[in-house]
Structure 1
Amino acid sequence: MTEPLRVIEICAGAGGQALGLEKAGFEHELAIELDQNAVNTLRYNRPDWKVAQGDVADLSVWDPADYAPGPDRRPIDLLAGGVPCPPFTIAGKQLGATDERDLFAWAVEQVKTVQPRALLLENVRGLSMPRFAGYRQHVLDRLREFGYAAEWRLLHASDYGVPQLRPRFVLVAMAPEDFAHFHWPEPIGKAPTVGETLLPLVSANGWKGAERWAEEANDIAPTIVGGSKKHGGADLGPTRAKRAWAEMGVDALGVANHAPNPEDEFLVGPKLTCEMVARIQGWDDKEFRWIFTGKKTSNYRQIGNAFPPPVAKALGVAIAVALNHTAERRERDLETAHDPIYRVLRDKGDFMTAAQIARAIKLPLEPHELERRISLLGRDFHIEISNGKAPAAYKLGQFKAFLGQEDHIRHDQFEHYRAKIS
């Protein structure tokens, strides 16, 4: 019999990705999570798992070297995680590499140490935007240096049976011989509507308006936003999302303690309970059954910040099939240039003028466009600019992201904001 596939999960949250990967056949070697409430939920649902609580980049919490392959230790099959989203979210400042919460580049660096057979990292759609082209290119190039083939893909939860749009930007990497067998999971069909999904829960207390409400709530949900400790109590998202919820008869200004009572009437519609929000995230009372511990606001944040279990399962199955070479092999061209300007500056290692850059990337660049793209690069990388009598020239410097450096500013910032990081 083949040995089970083993996973280490970083930034595990309350278990959305963990549960999905478990259903795909992975066994957790270790799960690491900062938030104590989420850790409590993980330990309650899976008391036999090894769960470490604390900063995932703190070697006293876990040491990646302890999980590297050795003479008597086979490689970990999957390193997975949903590292913090605020550095990349469109609704935020998009500080990227200079955000103290950014762990994406750090997570990629752990591949060199752990040497997993596969890597799975997910984040918000914002990471797919032009703002982070250089950041993405750096990630792909580093993985290639480590001997991995990698690819990004924007996935929508609604394509995998989850009644919510929830776009997530996913990175998968493996050794080339394994990646040749990897196929992104195919959509399974139209997702159920909010009304279809929540009718059993909304009508649990005998609310007389439940059937009519369910008929009107005939669309999938906006993306659930879990929020963070920097903000107030739980609600269902920003203004635009609240309007979309209102059109489906849901009051998004908070979370209810219980389902509507028989005679309840609403100006907009009922508020959702945490159980209802969890159902919209893909948890159910059958395959993806899960219990959340703690108080209501904490429960909501745990649910809202999670990766939907059905999507995690679909990805887990696709990765497992690739690692086992039970899917059809296909040749793929993975040399995607997310940021050709970054690539030529990195390869040159010296100053380049605009004309030299344009020739190297074989594309004409207007001066203002080059300046704009250099400016974007400069938010995540140090850029030196030479201004002499000759035309301005640019040189790519160090990546600003935290990669594990002992003297990185991230350490002081993290400790300063630790109580508000989620």
Structure 2
Amino acid sequence: MDAVTAGPDRRKDDYTVVEICAGAGGQALGLEKAGFAHELAVELDENAANTLWQNRPSWDIRTGDVASAGVWNPADFAEVSLLAGGVPCPPFSIAGRQLGASDERDLFAWAVEQVAIVKPRALMLENVRGLSQPRFAAYRQRVLDRLAALGYEPFWKLLHAADYGVPQLRPRFVLVALKPEDARYFSWPEPVEHTPTVGDELFDLMAANGWKHAETWRKMANDIAPTIVGGSKKHGGADLGPTRAKAAWRLLGVDGKGIANEAPAKDSPHPSALPPRLTIEMVRRIQGWRDEDGWEFSGRKTSQYRQIGNAFPPPVAEAVGRSIVRAFDRVEVSNSETAKADDPLFSLLNRHTEGVSETLIFAELPELTPSTLAKRLAKLELDFEVEATEVNGETVHRLGDFRGFVGQDAHFRHEYISEHRSKVS
């Protein structure tokens, strides 16, 4: 399939990208700026898909479950330059109870599996910080093993948006995998020299109606923002996150309990007495969309806020995208260390397919006690089937199948999506 025209600066030699779980276009815009041309973008949420249509009407945009054969056929996009996406975060987030592969919304392993079909030159997936935590060491190890089997060298790193000019913390765990001939040229993007504070970034918007305390507010907001939290469709409305986040916003002179329709009026109270709320336009800037991008959002205020808050900041996506392009172009750089993941219990069980006795487990992993072993097994069982049997009076544990969705016709995910399609985000 020929790549469609994607903007006035489209070049014939642009690299192509298929983006899954594209959301409202934060990653899409960043990758476009890095030199990628979209052959396809797939998104479940209709408002977010409409936002993509509204801003890039020439793109091939599909609305629906990305894992449905009725929405797209991955084989039709074989050998695209980049397969990218921001798959659902709740399976790895604390708010989502970190159920991992047991969460019906988990698409991370499925996205990795599409590499076998699409055979892209590179893969790029982003998710929340939680995926980098010890809880998911076995899950990550399985991902690395699968990518190695498919002939790719993986890299991953926890990136902070504030390091790339976006005035909020927003840590994101990013996976990049490339074929060996490109991997030797990959290096993570270097942080920028300067990131504006919330006050400097939003001053003109706060002062738009002549607010007499705008300059005072700018001095109060002299720091980087906490992470914008978009939430899910189960969330009651647009606000700036949980209690801790709201307290951090309050220190910046912002009321995080909701989103305003307009900037403060000329005679609005002093921010120490009544902090202003952010508008959608302000949230968009904090998330990294620039005025010159001309990016407009579809839907009502709550939907727009959710789309923006759940996005991958365009400047971060652009920075990683440019690093991938440099690898494609074989630009000499200092190599990044390839990704590693090591869950000793998972590795031990994975090596002994017939099962491992608790005596051997404690001998191989002396740091474990009966109590900590039970806890580790309980966590492991969220992502893998683990069978326990009695053999000669001793408990033997055997590692079974991965619980995650990788495309199986018979998987609990299908029933959930069918029954809760309008609530999934």
How many angstroms apart in 2 are the aligned matches of 1:367 and 1:327?
A: 50
How many angstroms apart in 1 are the aligned matches of 2:175 and 2:29?
A: 19
How many angstroms apart in 1 are the aligned matches of 2:259 and 2:339?
A: 46
Pick aligned residue for 1:280 from 277, 283, 286 = 286
Letter in 1 for 2:152: Y
Q: Is the 8 A contact 2:155 2:177 kept in 1?
A: yes
Pick aligned residue for 1:302 from 298, 301, 307 = 307
Q: Is the 8 A contact 2:156 2:338 kept in 1?
A: no
| 1:401 pairs with 2:415 | no
Pick aligned residue for 2:52 from 42, 58, 61 = 42
Deviation sequence 1:49-69 (CA, Å, 0-9, x none): 11011000001100101112x
Pick aligned residue for 1:117 from 108, 116, 121 = 121
How many angstroms does 1:145 deviate by? 0.7
| 1:99 pairs with 2:103 | yes
Structure 1 residues not aligned, in runs of 5+: 69-74
How many angstroms apart in 1 are the aligned matches of 2:168 and 2:330?
A: 32
How many angstroms apart in 1 are the aligned matches of 2:386 and 2:177?
A: 29
Letter in 2 for 1:270: P
Counterpart in the other structure of 1:290? 295
Counterpart in the other structure of 2:23? 13
CA distance 1:283–1:2, change in 2 (3 Å):
closer
How many angstroms apart in 1 are the aligned matches of 2:20 and 2:199?
A: 34
How many angstroms does 1:371 deviate by? 2.5
Instruction: Find the residue that maps to 1:260 and give its secondary structure.
Output: coil
Q: Is the 8 A contact 2:138 2:341 kept in 1?
A: no
Counterpart in the other structure of 1:72? none
How many angstroms does 1:323 deviate by? 1.4
Counterpart in the other structure of 2:8? none
Counterpart in the other structure of 1:23? 33
Letter in 1 for 2:274: V
Instruction: Find the residue that maps to 1:379 and give its secondary structure.
Output: coil
Equivalent residues in 2 for 1:92-171 (5 A)? 92-171=96-175
TM-score (norm. length: structure 1): 0.94
> Hey, which bits of structure 1, 4+ residues long, moved more than 4 A?
358-361
How many angstroms apart in 1 are the aligned matches of 2:345 and 2:156?
A: 19
CA distance 1:163–1:144, change in 2 (3 Å):
same
How many angstroms does 1:104 deviate by? 0.6
Letter in 1 for 2:380: L
How many angstroms apart in 1 are the aligned matches of 2:185 and 2:297?
A: 36
Q: Is the 8 A contact 1:103 1:402 kept in 2?
A: yes
Structure 2 residues not aligned, in runs of 5+: 1-10
Q: Is the 8 A contact 1:20 1:310 kept in 2?
A: yes
Q: Is the 8 A contact 1:351 1:386 kept in 2?
A: no
Pick aligned residue for 2:343 from 336, 339, 344 = 339
Deviation sequence 1:178-214 (CA, Å, 0-9, x none): 1111001111134211101000111111111111001
Identity %: 58
Pick aligned residue for 2:321 from 316, 328, 331 = 316
Deviation sequence 1:370-416 (CA, Å, 0-9, x none): 32222211111000012344432211101111111111010001111
How many angstroms apart in 1 are the aligned matches of 2:90 and 2:15?
A: 31
Counterpart in the other structure of 1:211? 215
How many angstroms does 1:164 deviate by? 0.2
The alignment covers a number of residue pairs equal to 413
Deviation sequence 1:87-134 (CA, Å, 0-9, x none): 111222111111111111110100000000100000001111111111
Counterpart in the other structure of 1:71? none
**Structure 1, 376-385 or 91-100: larger mean CA deviation:** 91-100
How many angstroms does 1:2 deviate by? 7.4
**Structure 1, 93-102 or 12-21: larger mean CA deviation:** 93-102
Instruction: Find the residue that maps to 2:91 and give its secondary structure.
Output: coil
Letter in 2 for 1:132: F
Counterpart in the other structure of 1:380? 383
Pick aligned residue for 1:270 from 273, 276, 281 = 276
Letter in 2 for 1:397: G
Instruction: Find the residue that maps to 2:92 and give its secondary structure.
Output: coil
How many angstroms apart in 2 are the aligned matches of 1:224 and 1:259?
A: 19
How many angstroms apart in 2 are the aligned matches of 1:198 and 1:329?
A: 36
Letter in 2 for 1:410: R
How many angstroms apart in 1 are the aligned matches of 2:287 and 2:367?
A: 45
How many angstroms does 1:312 deviate by? 0.2
CA distance 1:390–1:335, change in 2 (3 Å):
farther
**Structure 1, 98-107 or 17-26: larger mean CA deviation:** 98-107
Counterpart in the other structure of 1:327? 332
Q: Is the 8 A contact 1:246 1:268 kept in 2?
A: no
Pick aligned residue for 1:90 from 91, 94, 100 = 94
Letter in 1 for 2:93: T
Counterpart in the other structure of 2:228? 224
Letter in 2 for 1:60: G
How many angstroms apart in 1 are the aligned matches of 2:176 and 2:70?
A: 28
Counterpart in the other structure of 1:241? 245
**Structure 1, 137-146 or 379-388: larger mean CA deviation:** 379-388
